[in-house]
Chains A and B, each alone.
Chain A
Amino acid sequence: MEKTANMTEVKTTGGTTKKKSKGIKTHYDSKIFTVINSLIMIIFVVVTLYPVLNTVAISFNDGIDAVRGGIYLWPRKFAIKNYETVLAMENLITGAKITVARTVLGTLSALVVNALLAFVVSRKKFIFKSQLSLFWIITMYVNGGMIPVFLLYRNMHLTGTFWVYVIPGMVSAWNMLVIRTYMQGLPDSLEESAQLDGAGYMTVFMKIISPLCKPVYATVALFVAVGQWNSWFDAMLYNRMKTEYTTLQYELMKLLSSVMQQSGSAAAASERGAAAAAITPLTIRAAATVVTILPIICLYPFLQRYFVTGLTIGGVKE
């Protein structure tokens, strides 16, 4: 009310006062904007974090008690039993070992091969430069599809082995292009002066280009590593019968489906559970989830600048 009165008054008087009121108005608008914007951001953060924190709380809660629901950010009936059970589950331990192995081997091999390929196609004088680039860019758009790929791996006897996690995804056109774009941004004079000193291409790659490419290597390594850590479909498709090559995520998926089958009859489950042990698929899955995401959550904030630059290189070309 006061504000409107003030405004009309200003309107009747002229010139300088009018300008001032505009200043005040935008100031008010700006304040309102700041408040609403902050609220939106807070809601965003809550929506992002709450489900994860809730899972952590459930993982520390007694199993049967958790089925009743109503656990928010803190466990109601504290229990460490879930973690003890999870860390003693043999299939999860195997899964964890395989997942670590595939992440390390898969990331290293993918990095070396993609970097070499990117180096080759980014050499300005390479005679098949454009042909080789095109050869790989096509693979981004055309692929055989699930069934022919499955049959190929089966015929190559890759299915039922650990190597099906590492070998097929080694070269990826997208990762190669990210590295290539970065290498193309390096000055040509570096390569030329080294070659005048008698260095061959491999020396240039090892001694000159690679040290400069550390940021983009880190980016690609991160992308590949996260992909390896999180993949489950290949374990299900190619190694369903080979329990010794199961992965962490695939084991988690099995846990998830057991929870989903159980839900809807939550009440019945809690009655049945009363007689059984103090663990349920719900809390076990929560504990396994926390164990699985812990390494990633601890690492990614430190790698932020790498994936931000990497995505920006790969995405927008200014």
Chain B
Amino acid sequence: MAQEKKKTKSEKNIGKTKITLKEVKRQKSLLIISFFVTVYGLIFYYWPLTGWIMAFQNFKPAKGILGSKFIGLDKFKFLFEDAVFLRVIRNTFCMGALNLITTTITAIAFAVLLNEIRSVIAKKTVQTISYMPHFLSWIIVTGILHDALSSTGIINDLLMRIGAITAPINFFAHPKYFWPIVAFANCWKETGWNAIIYLAAITSINPDLYEAASIDGAGRLQKIFHITLPSIKPTIMILLMMNIGNVLNAGFEVQYLLGNGLVQKVSQTIDIYVLNWGISQNDFALGTAAGIFKSVVSIALIVICNQIAKHTGEERLF
């Protein structure tokens, strides 16, 4: 009887089981697991946060955080007076935004168009092929891309054949091509994968809507624009929000692997800057400061997006 009462109570306000000795004993195994996992989390996820102190110190690895001298915001001052860092921020933001926009559009377009394929076998085959690039590492994708864009690669070959150019373009030597190449690489790799969620959302649309539209004489394009797209709008919004917080995180591997001295001005991102200063130059404090800037901006973006969603009445992340 007592247990039953407790159950209904706990169902009313979730997570409010009273902490009693009996309960603790009963949940011993859960508590032991929680303990170990929490210790793990504290070490590997929370302890590095104490390293942020380094950014405010003249950090010397030999002296450690406790022994190093505090210098206030000098490292941040250096960062924001460094023309390279300002350019790096621009690159990270612009490439992140460009990638987010292009990958979202291609994924939605692919999902919508694939959904219009009537033959089940064709649909399955195309979809299976579309996932494939997601499983390849960036090392392989950039390698393949490098082959395709090289002076003897397929792109130059095609452009020469149709007479658009007379001599092969060295795509990796001109800064103006770098951002589009990165955006294309992201689309190539992730379109099919990102489309999975949109396809799932499309399949949950009530078929009656389409039938009603057909009776009213709507064409297939009209149905896409008036039924399919509005129906998956909540999914699109929530994914966009989740990804906006990640805009600054999405700039490392491709840029690091495809970048070279000639396009350095447009290819370097915050993470590459951190790697260059922190690991290669051993200036841990400066690298940490740049990392803090990235984290803070990312969190701010997430919070802002969440607030906007709250005010516009869209679904929220938290």
Enumerate chain B residues within 8 angstroms of A127, measured Cβ to Cβ: 17, 19, 23-24, 27, 31
Q: Which of A41, A167, A297 contacts B132, CB < 8 Å?
A: A297
- Which residue of chain A lies nearest to B131 when distances are taken between CB atoms in the complex? A300
Are B41 and A136 interface neighbours, CB within 8 A?
yes
Q: Which of A25-33, A86-94, A271-279 contacts B (4 or more CB under 8 A)?
A: A25-33
Q: In this complex, which of B15, B37, B287, B302 has the most chain A Cβ atoms within 10 angstroms of its Cβ?
A: B37
User: Which B residues touch A201, using CB under 8 A?
Assistant: 27, 29-30
| Contact of A266 with B135 in the complex, beta carbons under 8 Å | no
Q: How far is the CB of A262 from chain B (nearest CB, A)?
A: 10
CB-CB under 8 A for A146 and B287, given A37-B117, A68-B152, A263-B151:
yes
Question: Is the beta-carbon distance between A308 and B196 smaller than 8 angstroms?
Answer: yes
Within 8 A of A (CB), among B178-207: 188, 191-192, 196-197, 200-201, 204
The contact of A47 among B10, B17, B188, B271, by CB within 8 Å, is: B188
Residue pair B126, A40 in contact (C-beta under 8 Å): no
- The answer to whether A132 touches B34 (Cβ under 8 A) is yes
A293 CA to B133 CA, complexed, in Å: 10
A301 at the interface (CB under 8 A from B): yes
- A165 vs B9: C-alpha distance when bound (angstroms): 45
Smallest Cβ-Cβ distance to B38: which chain A residue: A135
- The answer, among A33, A249, A286, for a CB contact under 8 Å with B220, is A33
Please indicate the chain B residues that have their CB under 8 angstroms from the CB of A144 in the complex: 45, 47-49, 51-52, 291
Question: Looking at the complex, which one of A69, A120, A289 makes contact with B143 (CB distance below 8 Å)?
Answer: A289
Interface contact A293-B140, CB-CB below 8 Å:
yes
Contact string, A115-146, partner B, CB cutoff 8 A, digits 1/0?
Answer: 01101100111111110100111010111111
Considering only CB atoms, which chain A residue lies closest to B11 in the complex? A124
Size category, B interface: 35 or more
> How far in angstroms is the closest Cβ of chain A from B19?
5
Which of B49, B126, B151 makes the CB contact (< 8 A) with A264? B151
Closest to A286 in B: B147
Min CB gap B315→A, angstroms? 9
B57 at the A interface (CB under 8 A): no
Q: In this assembly, does A7 line the interface, its C-beta being within 8 Å of a C-beta of chain B?
A: no
Residue B154 at the chain A interface, CB threshold 8 Å: yes
CA–CA, A286 to B217, complex, Å?
53
Report how far A236 CA is from B51 CA in the complex, Å.
22
Q: CB distance A70 to B152 under 8 Å?
A: yes
B153 at the interface (CB under 8 A from A): yes
Please, how many angstroms separate the alpha-carbon atoms of A22 and B284 in the complex?
Answer: 71
Q: Once the chains bind, are A152 and B146 in contact (CB under 8 Å)?
A: no
B86 at the interface (CB under 8 A from A): no
> Which of A26, A47, A126, A230 sits near B219, CB closer than 8 Å?
A26
> Of A8-16, A51-59, A76-84, A210-218, which stretch is located at the interface?
A51-59
- Asked if B204 contacts A318 (CB within 8 A), the reply is yes
Q: Tell which of B66-74, B76-84, B92-100, B293-301 binds the partner.
A: B293-301
Contact A264-B17, Cβ < 8 Å, known A147-B278, A230-B136: no
Interface set of A (CB-CB < 8 Å, partner B): 22, 26, 29-30, 33-34, 37-38, 40-41, 44-45, 47-52, 54-55, 58, 67-70, 72, 113, 116-117, 119-120, 123-130, 132, 135-137, 139, 141-152, 167-168, 170-171, 200-202, 226, 229-233, 237, 249, 252-253, 256, 259-260, 263-264, 266, 282, 285-286, 289, 292-293, 296-297, 300-301, 304, 307-308, 311-312, 315-316, 318
21 sample A-B contacts, Cβ–Cβ < 8 Å, listed by A number = A26-B217, A26-B219, A30-B220, A49-B132, A69-B153, A125-B10, A125-B17, A135-B41, A146-B291, A147-B274, A150-B279, A151-B51, A167-B44, A171-B40, A226-B135, A230-B136, A260-B146, A297-B132, A297-B135, A315-B235, A316-B235
Can you name 17 extra interface pairs (CB under 8 A) apart from A137-B318, A146-B274? A26-B217, A51-B144, A51-B154, A55-B143, A69-B157, A120-B34, A142-B299, A146-B275, A146-B278, A152-B44, A152-B47, A171-B41, A230-B138, A249-B137, A253-B257, A293-B140, A304-B131
